[in-house]
Amino acid sequence: MSAFAFENRIWDEAETTPRDRLGKLQARRLRELVARVAEVPFYKEALARAKVKPGDIKGPDDIRRLPFTAKEDLRQHYPLGFLAVPRSQVARFHGSSGTTGKPTFVAYTADDLELWANLCARFLVAGGLRPEHTVQIAFGYGLFTGGFGLHYGVEKVGASVVPAAAGNTPRQLMLMQDLQADVLVCTPSYALNIAEVARQQGIDPRTLPLKFAHFGAEPWTEDMRKQIEAELDLIASNNYGLSEVIGPGVSGECAARNGMHISEDHFLAECVHPDTLEPVARGEQGELVFTTLTKQAMPLIRYRTRDIASLDSSPCPCGRTGARMSWVLGRTDDMLIIRGVNVFPSQIEEALLRVEGTAPHYLIEVDRPGAMDEVTVHVEVRPESFSDKMSQMQVLRDRIDREIQAVTGIRANVQLVEPQSLERSVGKAKRVVDHRREKGLI
């Protein structure tokens, strides 16, 4: 059997740079970066405090002498305190989608935009994109980096773009069919939404022209991938990015499907313990930290992503040398602490998808009515499994309860809800409602 789920092709020779040469390139770029940010007030101060000069950087490991940058630092220097070039050189602004509070802005020079398109082209080709494809982009176009980032990446590869943007699912289906789009770009949760609306319209989603999909922007699981691939009869690849670092294009899966290759020639990656900020042991999970080695308008040193994943720099059969990050377990902001146990929504997803008869739509509600935390997981039942018989529903509920306990170690109150009763999203799905937050308990 081939090591690849589909044909392995590489967009950019730089993706295969031997790791020793990559290390030297990173060190040189890191030195240049430290020199470049010297006039950004936050870094001027932080570097002076750390007593580091560009010449002190001999290898990529010297990164540990440099200060971290946190989301809070960006907020404190809102809106553009991290700009490292004259304003006249800025070609475009974007912003984080504000999932966790006030948005932050990011800026790009013309060269940054060119780099970004190239980095998106890398993961798109790695995930099966070819010039003959037609790509429907169902990400929001606007401040969110998803739409424009992927748009220019697809154009770079030479494929055609249908800039559908997010939402209006019946129109998405019409465009897809009439223009014969064979590739879909959106969040994984929105792909399920599209499949569902197709079924409501009497269209079998497997008969849609889609062959490939590139999903990202939110946590999902391998089981969710299997589900989406089966429902829509396509090959789905995972890609990762965040606006502060550049947007989508930080990393993406290759045809070997054993993690997402990071473009390490442009982003120096670290994995640290979120509390101690010390590097985790090789292969262990921790918080990802990225240093943008070549970005001009708004370079960041050791940016704490709050995303939990692990790193693997062992060789990959595809020939790319960039380390692979695992799928993201979740971000530390979304981690729920339930009666002292850490739980990520993606773990609940994993548990639910193990149980036949459940639909991949769920909402986790957390509260503390008395002294104890209580978790309710609302799970949709598949139409064919939904039954008026209490006993059948009880069996299903018990199975879900057991799986959740096996994966997370906590007991949850499982509420089975009717098909299509939970809210659908067109972008990042909302998985958690934490009443403890509203009550000021956490």
Neighbouring residues of 65: CB distance < 8 A, sequence distance ≥ 6: 50, 52, 56, 57
189 binds, options ligand ADP, Zn ion, none, Cβ within 5 to 8 A by partner type: none
Name the β-bridge partners of 279. Answer: 272
Q: What is the 3-state secondary structure (H, E, C) of 155-200?
A: HHHCCEEECCCCCCHHHHHHHHHHCCCCEEEECHHHHHHHHHHHHH
Asked if residue 175 binds Zn ion (CB under 5 A), the reply is no
Shortest distance, position 342 Cβ to ligand ADP, whole Å: 16
- Give the DSSP letter string of 6-51: S----S-GGGG--HHHHHHHHHHHHHHHHHHGGGSHHHHHHHHHHT
The nearest distance, CB 429 to Zn ion, in angstroms, is 28
Minimum distance, C-beta of residue 79 to ligand ADP, in the bound complex (Å): 15
Task: Work out how close the CB of 145 gets to ligand ADP at its nearest, in angstroms, rounded to a whole number.
Answer: 6
Distances (CA, A) of 42 to 85, 126, 297, 338: 14, 37, 15, 36
Minimum CB separation of residue 308 from ligand ADP in Å reads: 9
Q: Is 262 in the site for Zn ion (CB under 5 A)?
A: no
Q: At its nearest, how many Å lie between ligand ADP and the CB of residue 26? A: 22
- Whichever of 83 and 254 has its CB closer to Zn ion, that residue is 254
Binding site for ligand ADP (CB under 6 A): 96-100, 144-145, 216-219, 238-243, 305, 307, 328, 331
Q: Which of 47, 50, 51, 41 is nearest to 74 (CA)?
A: 41
Cβ-based nearer residue to ligand ADP, 307 or 373: 307
Residue with tokens 């598949």: 382
Strand pairing partners for 161? Answer: 135
In sequence order, the 6+-apart residues with CB closer than 8 A to the CB of 278 are 272
Q: Are strands 260-262 and 247-253 parallel, antiparallel or unpaired?
A: antiparallel
> What's the closest the beta carbon of residue 220 comes to ligand ADP, in angstroms?
6
Picking from 283, 329, 282, the residue whose alpha carbon sits closest to that of residue 306 is 329
**Binder to Zn ion among 159, 183, 316, 400 (CB under 5 A)?**
316
Nearer of residues 234 and 242 to ligand ADP, judged by Cβ? 242
Cβ-based nearer residue to Zn ion, 16 or 413:
16
If the CB atoms of residues 47 and 139 are measured against ligand ADP, the closer one turns out to be: 139
Q: Residue 243's binding partner, choosing from Zn ion, ligand ADP, none, with beta-carbon cut-off 5 to 8 A by kind?
A: ligand ADP
Give the span between the Cα atoms of 236 and 89, in whole angstroms: 37
> Which residue, 153 or 241, has its beta carbon nearer to ligand ADP?
241
When CB distances are held under 5 to 8 angstroms depending on the partner's kind, the choice from ligand ADP, Zn ion, none that residue 346 binds is none
Which of ligand ADP, Zn ion, none has residue 240 at its interface (CB below 5 to 8 Å by kind)? ligand ADP
320 lies in the binding site for Zn ion (CB under 5 A): yes
Residues 6 or more apart in contact with residue 201 via CB below 8 angstroms: 170, 173
DSSP state letter for 356: T
Q: Is 256 in the site for Zn ion (CB under 5 A)?
A: yes
Query: Interface with Zn ion includes 154 (CB under 5 A)?
Result: no
Helix axes 345-353 and 390-408, enclosed angle (nearest 10): 130
Tell me how far, at minimum, the Cβ of 155 lies from ligand ADP, in Å.
21
Q: Where do contacts with Zn ion occur on this chain (CB under 5 A)? A: 254, 256, 316, 318, 320
